[in-house]
Amino acid sequence: MNKTLLIIKREFLTRVKKKSFIIMTLLTPILMGALMVVPGMLASMGDTSSKKIAVVDKTKMFVNKLQGTEKVSFEYIGEQDLPAYKKAMTDKGVDAILVINQGIINNPKDAVIYSNEDVSVEMSSMIESNMEDLIKEEKMRTFNIQNLDEMLKQVKSSVNLNTIKLDENGMEKETNTVVIMGIAYIFGFLMYLFIFLFGSQVMRGVIEEKSNRVVEVIISSVKPIQLMMGKIIGVAAVGLLQFTIWILLSLAIFVGVKGYMMSSYSEKMAQQTQVTSVMSAQGGTQISEEDMAKIQDEVGDTTKIFNSISERIIPILFYFVIFFLGGYLLYSSLFAAVGSAVDNETETQQLMLPITIPIILALMVMMHTFQNPNSSISFWFSMIPLTSPIVMMARIPFEIPTWEVILSIVILYATIFAVIWLSAKIYRTGILMYGKKTSFKEMLKWIKHS
């Protein structure tokens, strides 16, 4: 046991003293945050250049009715001008030509847009939405309803559903499905990343010691199983330390962002109230109740998001550590067995395939789990030990029954002992085997005879 502790200590100290460990520990939360925020920022920025679209309306129904935006404007041209515009679109100062044919009311595909470049999804959606509204109004006019325009304005409304979850006792609890899906995605993906990252570190460590023959010296003093477990537990300790630091940094960022956003909203509401008071005292128009309600809605929505995260984060972190340790021990013992059976990393490709397939499969099922956390597929893949660490982390934020989580943990940890026992048999023979390309058949022989 003392020798195993010495190996654990050596593995831990060797890795945490590396500059790469310190740099990655500090930079990863920032990089992960950027990975989640930057795509959204880029999507929101979109194409900032202005676009002009020439419209040929053969129905005369859309003339001067399509509503442009800050970035998109419409120019109506006659049907006779279409050939000239097609030939010299740039010279005419337009970016695209929209041709609306006579049958558009009954055939939604009877409209074409010509462009020298691919039309963006945003612009295409905006035009389609515009035309759909106008066609709907035109169809309603056929019913000869008086004051139709005024009626359409009054009936126009939007709906934002509030989600309330009922527990077994009928108690109500407000939830936010989008936020829960986001949490499930982040922790499911982190689990995949951690298992693969630290599991492969074990394999590379075994290959390195085997290739430079250091293992022959170590193996003369300790048993192969002690060496393998010491390496696995040492890397696990590094992973837990790194995870703890990342969580503390993430919590600090979370508290900072929450405080900043709440402060900004308070300041905004105070300014609106002050402006309203001044304008009211001068007999001017007050800030509309709609604007104030919009700000209050933003505050309410933001508060709900932060509350949803705060309520779930502690149990999620608790289960994350349990499933990370389980998944890591399971896969790292397999990685260690593969590392011991080869002489260099290039020989691992064939042997790694059966190990990586379940991880990739779990990642694919995880994407399904966001939409259907209680489906049969999600349930069974969260019980299979090779996929449960990733899939279960995508289910836990949805507050599934506790017995399902406990059953998954029991199955996972029971499987770990069997996998470690088999991996140790391969490791014991493979670690001293040189110059021979190992196959699965060969590894089965090692398990039988060791």
Q: What does the alpha-carbon distance between residue 101 and residue 104 come to, in Å, rounded to a whole number? A: 6
Looking at per-residue pLDDT, the higher value among 45 and 377 belongs to 377
* DSSP for 173-218, written as a single string: EEE-HHHHHHHHHHHHHHHHHHHHHHHHHHHHHHHHHHHTTHHHHH
Could you tell me if 328 and 341 are in contact, meaning their C-beta atoms sit under 8 angstroms apart?
no
In a domain, 56, yes or no: yes
Residue 287 banded pLDDT, cuts 50, 70, 90: low
In a domain, 407, yes or no: yes
Is 239 found in the same domain as 137? no
In a domain, 226, yes or no: yes
Is 100 found in the same domain as 230? no
User: Could you tell me which residues are beta bridge partners of residue 52?
Assistant: 73
pLDDT of residue 380: 94
pLDDT tens-digit map of 11-46:
888 888 888 888 888 887 777 666 666 665 665 565
Could you tell me if 69 and 126 are in contact, meaning their C-beta atoms sit under 8 angstroms apart?
yes
- Provide the domain limits for residue 139: 51-148
Q: What does the alpha-carbon distance between residue 309 and residue 254 come to, in Å, rounded to a whole number? A: 10
Q: What sign does the dihedral 284-290-293-297 (CA atoms) show?
A: negative
- Check pLDDT > 70 for residue 69: yes
Is 375 found in the same domain as 239? yes
Q: What does the alpha-carbon distance between residue 310 and residue 296 come to, in Å, rounded to a whole number? A: 21
Is 204 found in the same domain as 127? no
In a domain, 43, yes or no: no
Question: How many other CB atoms sit within 10 Å of the CB of residue 41?
Answer: 9
Is 122 found in the same domain as 190? no
CATH number of 90's domain: 3.40.190.10
What integer is the mean pLDDT of 406-428? 91
What integer is the mean pLDDT of 415-428? 88
Is 182 found in the same domain as 134? no
Helices within 342-439 (DSSP H only): 348-371, 376-381, 388-395, 402-430
pLDDT tens-digit map of 310-334:
777 788 888 988 998 999 899 988 9
Could you tell me if 316 and 219 are in contact, meaning their C-beta atoms sit under 8 angstroms apart?
no
Threshold 0.75, pTM exceeds: no
Q: What does the alpha-carbon distance between residue 194 and residue 199 come to, in Å, rounded to a whole number? A: 8
Q: Which two tokens stand for residue 248?
A: 């503390």
Single-letter amino acid code for the residue at 56: V
Could you tell me if 330 and 202 are in contact, meaning their C-beta atoms sit under 8 angstroms apart?
no
Q: What does the alpha-carbon distance between residue 372 and residue 288 come to, in Å, rounded to a whole number? A: 42
pLDDT of residue 125: 86
Single-letter amino acid code for the residue at 108: P
How many domains does one find in the chain? Answer: 2
Could you tell me if 378 and 372 are in contact, meaning their C-beta atoms sit under 8 angstroms apart?
yes
Q: What does the alpha-carbon distance between residue 370 and residue 177 come to, in Å, rounded to a whole number? A: 10
In a domain, 117, yes or no: yes
- Check pLDDT > 90 for residue 415: yes
In a domain, 162, yes or no: no
Q: Is 114 helix (H, G, I), strand (E, B) or coil?
A: strand
Is 246 found in the same domain as 204? yes
Could you tell me if 11 and 205 are in contact, meaning their C-beta atoms sit under 8 angstroms apart?
yes
